[in-house]
Structure 1
Amino acid sequence: MNRVAVGFSLVLLGACVTPAFASDDVVNLTLKDHKFSPDGVTIPAGKKVKFVVKNLDATPAEFESDDFKAEKVVPAGKSVEILVGPLKAGTYEFHDEYHEAQSKTHLTVR
């Protein structure tokens, strides 16, 4: 009886520590010289994806997209996580609101 309880407890513990996102559900973006790298990313339609945005600049940035309704300040030298989606297939723009002309790029959803 004790083995069953221990086994069940281990199964429950494993379920608790499972990551919320698989590695292919994470998009890593870097912001340097007010430009995103990579320039343009692709994600699957109908799926929620985590963007990890790292700001390598000495000034804050504001990740923003009017197209997919996301907005988050990224302090200088820091990283933030932003949940995106699920979205329908198409092309969506995003940028650093503080340096919009330099930073415009796109998200392709397939």
Structure 2
Amino acid sequence: MKKESSTNTLNAQELYETCGMAIALRILGGRWKPGIIWHLGHSRMRYSQLKALIPNISERMLVQQLKELEKYGFVERFAFPEVPPRVEYALTDEGKTLIPIVQSLNEWGNGQREKIKLPV
């Protein structure tokens, strides 16, 4: 829980109010969100299908990332009242606007792979 009056919180608030790049990185930031967006950009998917496409992501992290993207309005969750329960995820129209951004980041990153050796 962050204190609303802390310097860190105030700095973040000012940054988000003045810098679009900070907002973009907040939305897309992290190891898993770009891949989730990329896979959902191809089709509506069940949770298990998405998990299979991103095998190293933990279930907890996949749920967390999907919830964040849903909160931002980029992913829509469809729950079907069946037994066993079935849930599907899809990009919203706004979420689909992220596809070219994620694709460009992927292409740029692939070009940097040999130039920059990142620590694991």
When normalised by structure 1's length, the TM-score is 0.26
> Higher relative contact order by CA 8 Å / sep ≥ 6: 1 or 2?
1
**Largest Rg, 1 or 2:** 1
Q: Is the strand fraction higher in 1 or 2?
A: 1
